[in-house]
A and B are shown apart, each in its own frame.
Chain A
Amino acid sequence: MSAHSATAAAVPPPRSRSRAWGKFKRNRVALLGAVIVLAVVILAVFAPLLATHDPLQTSFMAIRKAPSATFWLGSDELGRDIYSRMLYGARASLMAGLVSVVIALIVGVPFGLVSGYFGGWIDSIISRCTEALLAIPFLILAIALAAFLGPSLTNAMIAIGVSAAPKFIRLARGQVLAVKNEDYVQSSRALGASDTRIIVRHILPNIMPPLIVQATITIATAIIAEASLSFLGLGLQPPNPSWGSMLNTAKNFMTQAPWMSIFPGSAIFLAVLGFNLLGDGLRDALDPRQEK
């Protein structure tokens, strides 16, 4: 690779970006994913405007009412409106998904960069620690952390983020190894750039696509994980609504009030499917080499 094409790789030409976008646009399934994600975001952001009831308002006159004109998706065991609670639940799920992935990125990517870039003993230490963390199944680690930290949405997000971090360490490390001997890295080193500068300015931008893809898919995993923790009672605490905790109470009323389980569960399914479709589409568009 000549020095010219090396600079071209460091700053992706606009053409390749529009090609990726074009590829993404033609992918109908990925667009469907984007639409679902967008819809969930809109519902969450405008929850106060779209809600027909106060999500915490209990009513003993309206316990476990089937879906109707008043309660669009029915009411729960305390007479609260399920539709309104689901809107606010979308906030908890989205926040959990985003915040935990940000935590995972902040914890994981720097370690991965350092590990891959410097190699040697520091790489050995970080790699062994990553392997150790990966040895504990994601959800079990998250449950243990949430249990020891105490149940709350914040702790659930920390637990999920920390449990997801090793994947990002491993991914970032592998990507760095793949690009660190490229010409543009060598030439900026020859020009006297510091290690920090090389990592931040040259390597990081080039390994972004796989990180973005992994982050999108991890949002899906994190939403399921938050719903799972809430379902177990280790997430957002009552009376605040989250899809997982709504299902937790709903499972006690399966025969009497099936709507209590059907709707919040569909919401989790759709939101997670949306992020998975989006992630798959982004992978095909941005990072065709990577295996599904």
Chain B
Amino acid sequence: MFKIILRRVLVAIPTLILVSMIVFMLQKILPGDPVLTLAGEERDPAVLDYLRDKYRLNDPLPVQYGVWVGQVLQGDLGKSLRTDVPVTQLIAQKLPVTLQLAAMAMFFALVIGVPMGIVAAVRKGTATEMGANVAALSGMSIPNFWLGILLIMLVSVKWRLLPASGYVSPAEDFWMSMKTMLMPALVLSTAIAAYLMRHTRSAMLEALSADYVRTARAKGVSPRRVVLRHALRNALMPIVTLVTLLFGELLAGAVLTEQVFTIPGFGKLIVDAVFTRDYAVVQGVVLCVAVGFIIMNLLADILYILVNPRLRHA
């Protein structure tokens, strides 16, 4: 088992290196001379040369990449071109906000998606299954920023039930924090909930047709117990790993959700950076998300090996 895990960890290394190359190359596809952008109105050749030297733009690409990776490994993602604040500091500030949003969204997605998937599988061929399928497809098709706008119009503007925007830290006021995050998290969860529902449904359908389920039924185990103890336990395994993978999706979806609800998180950071042409920040955020995603992926695989008895003894 340790061999499998070790091999899996080793495979992640080239992926990490490639991701870092892709992120590094992002700034190179930028049209125009970055120095001219940096210098602004200044066109003095001496200043331009100084800037080129400072950012090592005269070195060959591999050298530039090497220097950049060296800095990244030391936890230095550069400074925001606008505010001069270190990018790592910006990310450290915004990340908890988005993680709270993503965690709440994942909670809703699980609470909505998994039971719906189970019911759809158990009630196969009925109107209930049809309804669950249609709901899932709608969840996948609805643009979450539009759903956000609709909910704000209805819940905040018309009914005045929940705040329309903003962010309150849970450390400051826990209930207020939950209240402001409730709508954004629900909006963010729709697509993931739909995805989880469809996967739960197909995993359950497979499990329900397995021999051990038939055996359990023949033994006279109650239908409820067959579904929950025998089928679900086996169907849940792929879903556990799926949940870790879907976190990447949630981070991407958070970009739009945070924009609609003006939440000062990760997504807002990258969008604002895009518009102020703060490429160091964009690069840092993309790198961070990708590395996080690779680590989640790795954890998902290791988790899968650990919970799967067939692999555990390999």
Given A254-B157, A291-B202, residue A140 in contact with residue B150 (CB < 8 A): no
Interface residues of A in 114-150 (CB under 8 A from B): 128-129, 131-133, 135-141, 143-145, 147-150
Which residues from A are CB-within-8-Å of B202?
291-292
Task: Determine which of A247, A250, A272 lies in contact with B141 in the assembled complex, contact meaning CB atoms within 8 Å.
Answer: A272
Which residues from B are CB-within-8-Å of A232?
255-256, 259, 271, 274
Contact B251 A140 (CB under 8 A): yes
One of B24-32, B41-49, B50-58, B217-225 at the interface: B24-32
Which one of A129, A138, A148, A224 has the highest number of Cβ atoms from chain B below 10 Å of its Cβ? A148
Which residues from A are CB-within-8-Å of B134?
29
Q: Mark A222-239, 1 if CB is under 8 A from B, else 0.
A: 001001100111100000
Shortest C-beta distance, A254 to chain B (Å), equals: 5
Shortest C-beta distance, B60 to chain A (Å), equals: 21
Q: CA separation between A140 and B293, bound complex, in Å?
A: 12
Q: CA separation between A115 and B145, bound complex, in Å?
A: 38
Number of A-B contacts (CB under 8 A): 135
The answer to the question of A268 belonging to the interface, with a C-beta cut-off of 8 Å to chain B, is yes
Q: Mark A261-276, 1 if CB is under 8 A from B, else 0.
A: 1100100110011001
Which residues from B are CB-within-8-Å of A147?
274, 279, 282
Q: CA separation between A139 and B145, bound complex, in Å?
A: 13
Interface residues of B in 1-47 (CB under 8 A from A): 14-15, 18-19, 21-23, 26-27, 29-31
The answer to the question of A67 belonging to the interface, with a C-beta cut-off of 8 Å to chain B, is no
Q: CA separation between A140 and B22, bound complex, in Å?
A: 13
Interface residues of B in 164-184 (CB under 8 A from A): none
Interface residues of B in 262-296 (CB under 8 A from A): 270-271, 274-275, 279, 282-283, 285-286, 289-290, 293-294
Shortest C-beta distance, B302 to chain A (Å), equals: 16
Which residues from A are CB-within-8-Å of B146?
247, 261, 265, 268-269
The answer to the question of B187 belonging to the interface, with a C-beta cut-off of 8 Å to chain A, is no
The answer to the question of A280 belonging to the interface, with a C-beta cut-off of 8 Å to chain B, is yes
Contact A136 B274 (CB under 8 A): no
Given A132-B22, A137-B248, A137-B289, residue A231 in contact with residue B259 (CB < 8 A): yes
The answer to the question of A196 belonging to the interface, with a C-beta cut-off of 8 Å to chain B, is no
The answer to the question of A16 belonging to the interface, with a C-beta cut-off of 8 Å to chain B, is no
The answer to the question of A171 belonging to the interface, with a C-beta cut-off of 8 Å to chain B, is no
Contact A136 B149 (CB under 8 A): no
Q: Mark B119-141, 1 if CB is under 8 A from A, else 0.
A: 00000000000000010011011
Which residues from B are CB-within-8-Å of A280?
137
The DSSP consensus for interface residues of chain B is helix
Shortest C-beta distance, A231 to chain B (Å), equals: 5
The interface on chain A, measured as residues whose beta carbon lies within 8 A of the other chain's beta carbons, has a size of 46
Contact A276 B137 (CB under 8 A): yes
Contact B297 A135 (CB under 8 A): yes
Contact B153 A143 (CB under 8 A): no
The answer to the question of A194 belonging to the interface, with a C-beta cut-off of 8 Å to chain B, is no
Which chain A residue lies CB-closest to B157?
A255
Q: CA separation between A135 and B274, bound complex, in Å?
A: 21
The answer to the question of A220 belonging to the interface, with a C-beta cut-off of 8 Å to chain B, is yes
Contact B143 A224 (CB under 8 A): yes
Contact A292 B198 (CB under 8 A): yes
Which one of A132, A145, A276, A292 has the highest number of Cβ atoms from chain B below 10 Å of its Cβ? A132
Shortest C-beta distance, A237 to chain B (Å), equals: 13
Which residues from A are CB-within-8-Å of B142?
269, 272
The answer to the question of B252 belonging to the interface, with a C-beta cut-off of 8 Å to chain A, is yes
The interface on chain B, measured as residues whose beta carbon lies within 8 A of the other chain's beta carbons, has a size of 52
The answer to the question of B249 belonging to the interface, with a C-beta cut-off of 8 Å to chain A, is yes
The answer to the question of A197 belonging to the interface, with a C-beta cut-off of 8 Å to chain B, is no
Which residues from A are CB-within-8-Å of B153?
254-255, 258, 261
Q: CA separation between A234 and B274, bound complex, in Å?
A: 9
Shortest C-beta distance, B291 to chain A (Å), equals: 8
Given A136-B290, A262-B150, residue A128 in contact with residue B271 (CB < 8 A): no
Which residues from A are CB-within-8-Å of B198?
292
Q: CA separation between A250 and B275, bound complex, in Å?
A: 19
Contact A277 B18 (CB under 8 A): no
Chain A residues at the B interface, C-beta cutoff of 8 Å: 29, 128-129, 131-133, 135-141, 143-145, 147-150, 220, 224, 227-228, 231-234, 247, 250-251, 254-255, 258, 261-262, 265, 268-269, 272-273, 276-277, 280, 291-292
Return the 9 tightest CB-CB contacts between A and B, nearest first: A265-B146, A132-B18, A137-B252, A139-B252, A273-B141, A147-B274, A272-B141, A136-B290, A137-B248
A-B contact pairs, 17 of them (CB 8 A): A129-B18, A131-B18, A132-B22, A135-B19, A135-B290, A137-B251, A140-B255, A140-B270, A145-B26, A145-B29, A147-B274, A148-B282, A227-B143, A228-B145, A231-B259, A265-B150, A269-B143
* Supplied contacts A148-B29, A276-B141, 16 more A-B pairs, CB within 8 Å: A29-B134, A135-B15, A139-B255, A140-B252, A140-B255, A143-B274, A148-B26, A220-B141, A232-B259, A247-B143, A247-B145, A250-B149, A254-B149, A262-B150, A265-B149, A280-B137
